[in-house]
Structure 1
Amino acid sequence: MGSKFHAFMFPWFAFGHMTAFMHLANKLAEKGHKITFLLPKKALKQLEPLNLFPNRIFFHTITIPSVDGLPPGAETTADIPITLGSFLASAMDRTRDQVEKAVIIGKPDLIFFDFSPWIPEIAREYGAKSVHYATVSAACVAISFVPGRSPDELALPPPGYPSSKVLLRGQETNSLSFLSYPFGDGTTFYERIMTGLANCDVISIRTCQEMEGKFCDFVESKFKRKALLTGPMLPEPDKGLPLEDQWAHWLSQFEPRSVVYCALGSQIVLEKEQFQELCLGMELTGLPFLVAVKPPKGSSTIQEALPEGFEERVKGRGVVWGGWVQQPLILAHPSTGCFVSHCGFGSMWESLVNDCQIVFVPHLGEQILNTRLMSDELEISVEVKREETGWFSKESLSGAIRSVMDKDSELGNLVRRNHAKWKESLVRTGLLSGYADRYVEALETLV
């Protein structure tokens, strides 16, 4: 048994990142290690219920400074449109003094981070090791973050990139243009992440060798160091709260595997027309459905934005909900048969370890790469075809859903078989716990 360590965690102020770090914190705490989790005050309410070891995981709240361009009171990506992310990155950088003060007092052995490239400097100064924890796929790291690329090369696969179907097609190379966008004061998104990867003591990726081995090997060869893999690092379903009565009761009305559940993550706010097309596409499937998305731009509630007559037509079989839901528990419910998602990496893993069919509607570069990994490389999901406008039609959405839900569909049967095979290997063979155990052992020897 290795020595017990004290780890600090300082993830990007987005719930997909903070939640992924929280699952890792629980795993480290389960092995007897102490964690100090740094986060904005507003995020505490949503993260606290996920803390399974309150005697070992301690929250340290950070005050988010005001930044010109950042709306007053904004503390996480859930408070702002994606276009204002650069201002939030500036605010994160301006918390450096607070983080440094906490490190001086807490004396951590390890500091986990992702979007704050100055953490390795603080870690070195105070005798800690820095761990860059990538909560995106290894394929995404491999294609997006390779040292020494010029801005005009960022939309292309890097030299030596593994033979793979995980590539952007045609006009979608624009989806990687976000790498050259300003992200914080005087830095681009690419420079921010690259600096952290190049200067940290340990690169750590939330994935497994079985699925992404060639991408992990490529990352190791480019950064000349070992990448420690955590495995999917998902919470155990039997821990925590049960599914809320409202949803348990609603879902239980329907046949097993008949309900379509759709969620697009905490960052995506649709245009009203896109939102309405999404609702109409779900209606067109003829299946029961639950859509959990934020109200679209310009609307304060879901109800005011729904298509005319929609509520009456889908009464009893369709719900559009603007609030937070317990996604892992909804996916695990016997009535849920299909998951329509943006393919954020957390949602991707949650879909893999459940039995429902998978349909992806990716928005951002990382999500498109995750979708390619799942739909083209592993053939366990279907991607909704887009129109020339870059959005999808109600017909393409309902067509994709029906193609996987139809019992006689060749495509549906192919992805169902492949999904079952991957789920089997991920869930039933101790693979997940094996990764977590080896990962924690590697960290123990590191300190």
Structure 2
Amino acid sequence: MEEEGYQNSGNEPLHVLMFPWLAHGHISAYAELSIRLAQKGTKVSFFSTPLNIAKIKPLFASRQVPQIQLLQLPLPKVAGLPPEIESTSDLPMHLTPLFNKAVDGLEAPFEKLLAEICPDCVIFDFVQWWAGRAAAKFGAASVTFSTLGAAFISWAMHPFWRLYGNGLTAEDLIQQPSDYPSRAVTLRLFEAAGALVVNGAHEPDAVSYPERCLRGIDACDIVAVKTCAELEGKYVEYFGKVTGKPVVPLGPLLSPHVSEGKADSDVMTWLDKQSMGSVVYVSFGSQCFLSREEIAEVALGLEASGQPFLWALHSLSSWLPEGFVERLGKRGIVVRGWVPQREVLAHLGVGSLMTHCGWNSIMEGLSNGLVLIASPMQLDQSHNARLIVLELNVGNEVGRGKDGTFEREEICKAVRMVMGDEGREMRAKAKEIGHMFKNKILKDGGSQDEYMTHFVDHLHLLKPSVRLQKGKEIQH
């Protein structure tokens, strides 16, 4: 094990060990939580693999929180898994079973780490469910921290699904537990079929993602969720009923907006020339790669809409339709690679976000008062899309074919609806939520700070109770 940063001293504060799932969105959320806990006086150890630690290290350095200790262990070697893959962002779908096997191989080294550093509490991601079991073995409390929203996670983690065992079908998944708080937030058949493929165990002895999550909840003392009561209050309450565990919302956990550089880039210069609120920013996230056919349909739909747009394209730009870029002229920009997204979303020229509905992207869009064009791709994104469109009324969802295919006419229709007269009410609602983020949630002393104070109080209450329980076990 290698470590950097915090060194032990005599008078120790509450000590928390963070262990995120090896995916960019999860690691960054755990990093933000680590920073906020450290700012509250908590000693934080942050654990991951070497390549992930190297990527996240500059973020910690930029926020100047020296009391965060970085710990790293190599991902165990698994035949057939390239050694450079340490994150799902680099992971081809067909290698997922091997990647999960490698992560599970960290259990024994993780236990050795716990014995060495003796944290008071382990905060772990659902997928590596055994971290909660390991924490209990060494007398530490444990918290499962979900980086996904409460509407999805309270549905996905309902014990109801265990009744089906391995016989669960797509038709079963489009149903809902009878007590779920919404009839609108649900899956469509093609989405349910895709979920079965992604979430299956893949191998006879493997543990499926849903079962991993349920085991993680079984093992923990508290469940924490990256959400806020202002948006998902009824789902947070429902999740507590489902799990039988205290469920603590941690707020949106958005990092403070700082310049990401390149403010004078071609992108920002182009945005400066656009009318206020006229631009559609298009991003499907860093882990959603569109097929050639999907790229063509999105491109031609955006072109037909007549609306200015900025598209952050992570798939092959050579797959764009022939002559597309030339026909756009100055009305649209397609950027292959890095885009200063935080700056783009905050720019006054941007009026809407076309998104895959990843939870962090939704939070970033809403915090800037943007109306959303929902194009969910996988996992929690379908539930997120229904939440923002059918319950929060801050967006419109792109229609799909029965098999989930993109269609250029539906892309065009969704963009025009959101940005035209028909979308006036939802744009107003989005701005209202943006003001709520600014004036109630994210401001100094706002509810984001209150969420963190409440969470730290929970952690302090766990510390003596766990030690007391451990002492009773030793006596017996």
Distance 2:65 2:450 in 1: 24
What's the offset of the Cα at 1:368?
A: 0.1
Does the CA contact (< 8 Å) of 2:190 and 2:404 recur in 1? no
What's the offset of the Cα at 1:140?
A: 0.9
Letter matched to residue 254 of structure 2: L
Would you say 1:68 and 2:79 are equivalent positions?
A: yes
Would you say 1:434 and 2:450 are equivalent positions?
A: yes
Deviations 1:162-196 (A, max 9, x none): 24421224444334424750168521111111110
Distance 1:228 1:256 in 2: 38
Match of 2:3 in 1: none
Relative to structure 1, the CA distance from residue 423 to residue 364 in structure 2 (aligned partners, 3 Å threshold; closer, same or farther) is same
Match of 1:225 in 2: 245
Task: Report the 3-state secondary structure (helix = DSSP H, G, I; strand = E; otherwise coil) of the residue aligned with 1:58.
Answer: strand
- The more displaced of 324-333 and 263-272 is 324-333
1:311 to 318, 325, 329: 325
Deviations 1:359-406 (A, max 9, x none): 010011310001111111111111100023311112211221121112
Relative to structure 1, the CA distance from residue 163 to residue 369 in structure 2 (aligned partners, 3 Å threshold; closer, same or farther) is closer
What's the offset of the Cα at 1:135?
A: 1.0
Which runs of structure 1 show a deviation greater than 6 angstroms over 4 or more consecutive aligned residues?
Answer: none
Distance 2:250 2:377 in 1: 26
Deviations 1:287-338 (A, max 9, x none): 3322113224xxxxx2x22211122112333222232323222101111121
Distance 1:99 1:306 in 2: 45
Relative to structure 1, the CA distance from residue 321 to residue 64 in structure 2 (aligned partners, 3 Å threshold; closer, same or farther) is farther
Letter matched to residue 424 of structure 2: N
What's the offset of the Cα at 1:31?
A: 1.1
Does the CA contact (< 8 Å) of 1:352 and 1:422 recur in 2? yes
Does the CA contact (< 8 Å) of 1:162 and 1:215 recur in 2? yes
Letter matched to residue 206 of structure 1: K
Letter matched to residue 450 of structure 2: G
Match of 1:99 in 2: 110
Does the CA contact (< 8 Å) of 1:12 and 1:116 recur in 2? yes
Task: Report the 3-state secondary structure (helix = DSSP H, G, I; strand = E; otherwise coil) of the residue aligned with 1:358.
Answer: strand
Percent identity over the alignment? 33
1:347-362 → structure 2 map (5 Å cutoff): 347-362=361-376
2:408 to 361, 385, 394: 394
Aligned residue pairs total 435
Does the CA contact (< 8 Å) of 1:265 and 1:344 recur in 2? yes
1:277 to 289, 294, 297: 297
Distance 2:298 2:199 in 1: 30
Match of 1:181 in 2: 200
Would you say 1:49 and 2:58 are equivalent positions?
A: yes
Letter matched to residue 414 of structure 1: E
Would you say 1:137 and 2:149 are equivalent positions?
A: yes
Task: Report the 3-state secondary structure (helix = DSSP H, G, I; strand = E; otherwise coil) of the residue aligned with 1:150.
Answer: helix
1:121 to 130, 133, 137: 133
Match of 1:299 in 2: none
What's the offset of the Cα at 1:352?
A: 1.0
Relative to structure 1, the CA distance from residue 181 to residue 128 in structure 2 (aligned partners, 3 Å threshold; closer, same or farther) is same
Does the CA contact (< 8 Å) of 1:30 and 1:53 recur in 2? no
Would you say 1:31 and 2:45 are equivalent positions?
A: no
Distance 1:268 1:360 in 2: 14
RMSD over aligned CA atoms reads 2.1
Deviations 1:419-440 (A, max 9, x none): 2232233331222222222222
Match of 1:420 in 2: 431
Structure 2's unaligned 5+ residue stretches are 1-11, 441-445, 464-476
Letter matched to residue 79 of structure 1: D
Of the two, which has the highest radius of gyration?
2
Deviations 1:255-274 (A, max 9, x none): 22222211111211111111
Does the CA contact (< 8 Å) of 1:256 and 1:334 recur in 2? yes
Deviations 1:48-103 (A, max 9, x none): 23222340223223312232343342111111233433322211111223322322
What's the offset of the Cα at 1:8?
A: 1.3
Letter matched to residue 387 of structure 2: L
Would you say 1:21 and 2:33 are equivalent positions?
A: no
Question: TM-score by structure 2 length?
Answer: 0.86
Distance 2:47 2:202 in 1: 21
Distance 1:122 1:292 in 2: 41
Distance 1:111 1:265 in 2: 29
What's the offset of the Cα at 1:46?
A: 3.4
Relative to structure 1, the CA distance from residue 164 to residue 427 in structure 2 (aligned partners, 3 Å threshold; closer, same or farther) is farther
Distance 1:44 1:316 in 2: 40
- The more displaced of 205-214 and 124-133 is 205-214
Relative to structure 1, the CA distance from residue 47 to residue 272 in structure 2 (aligned partners, 3 Å threshold; closer, same or farther) is same
Relative to structure 1, the CA distance from residue 388 to residue 165 in structure 2 (aligned partners, 3 Å threshold; closer, same or farther) is closer
Distance 2:393 2:306 in 1: 25
